[in-house]
A = this chain, B = another copy of it.
Amino acid sequence: MSVIAENINPNFRDLFKDKFYFTNNEYELLLSHFQIKHIRKRDYYLKAGEVCKAKAYLNKGCARNFVVDERGHERILFFAFEDWWLGDFDSYYTEKPSTNYVQAIEDCELLTISKENFSFLEERIPKLKQWYTYKVTRSASASLKRMEEMKTLTPKERYLNLLEKHPHIFQRIPLQYIAAFLNIEPQSLSRMRKQLIEKP
């Protein structure tokens, strides 16, 4: 399905037009190479073992990115909300099978662009390379920060961080996923929330 400009998250337009100075023509050209993709709640955008062949902008909805450990437990690496890019970075770049699952938590609307289309556009809009370097630098920093958080913060502090960034998280993310993200039992999370409500 082709993309209709009015339905796009304004952050998408601002990113390319305001931050990277795309002209109207360049922005239209870019947009014409994206496709809209809908993923129903609980369906997968990507599964471990598949090669990630596209970039996907999360226009509406939220998703979880997880891995499965050798003991069969799902380990949530992060949640993705509107204005994130979904996929497996490493798999996209190396064209090797992904180790990650990306599953819709709500019905999701994605704007996707294939690797071929992206390369084609990079030749025509050199600013797109700058954007990609910026994006990948931000991703690298974000991953390092998350690793730092995992090493330095208690589950309670990580929970409060998540709540601060996404205050409506409990309306959007099931409790057992938040617990899995924090590496704690759902009962411990319930207790933690109760304590925090009693002593704000």
Return the CB mask of A155-184 against B: 1 if under 8 Å, else 0.
001000000000000000000000000010
> Which of B90, B133, B148, B151 lies in contact with A144, CB distance below 8 A?
B90
Judge whether B69 and A144 touch: CB under 8 Å: no
Judge whether B90 and A152 touch: CB under 8 Å: no
> Which of B100, B144, B151, B183 lies in contact with A143, CB distance below 8 A?
B144
Size range of the interface on A?
Answer: 20 to 34
Cβ of A42 under 8 Å from chain B: no
User: What's the Cα separation between A150 and B94 when bound, in Å?
Assistant: 22
Cβ of A70 under 8 Å from chain B: yes
Report copies per complex. Answer: 2
Cβ of A93 under 8 Å from chain B: yes
Known: A93-B137, A133-B132, A136-B133. A77 touches B151 (CB 8 A): yes
Judge whether A75 and B151 touch: CB under 8 Å: yes
Cβ of A127 under 8 Å from chain B: no
Judge whether B144 and A93 touch: CB under 8 Å: no
Task: Report chain B residues within 8 Å CB of A100.
Answer: 148
Known contacts A67-B148, A69-B153; 14 additional CB pairs below 8 A are: A69-B151, A69-B152, A70-B152, A75-B151, A76-B151, A77-B148, A129-B133, A136-B136, A139-B140, A143-B143, A143-B147, A146-B147, A147-B147, A147-B150
Identify 20 residue pairs between A and B in the complex whose beta-carbon atoms are under 8 Å apart, listed by A's number.
A67-B148, A69-B153, A75-B148, A75-B151, A76-B151, A89-B137, A89-B140, A90-B141, A90-B144, A90-B145, A93-B141, A94-B141, A99-B148, A129-B133, A133-B133, A133-B136, A136-B136, A136-B137, A140-B143, A147-B147
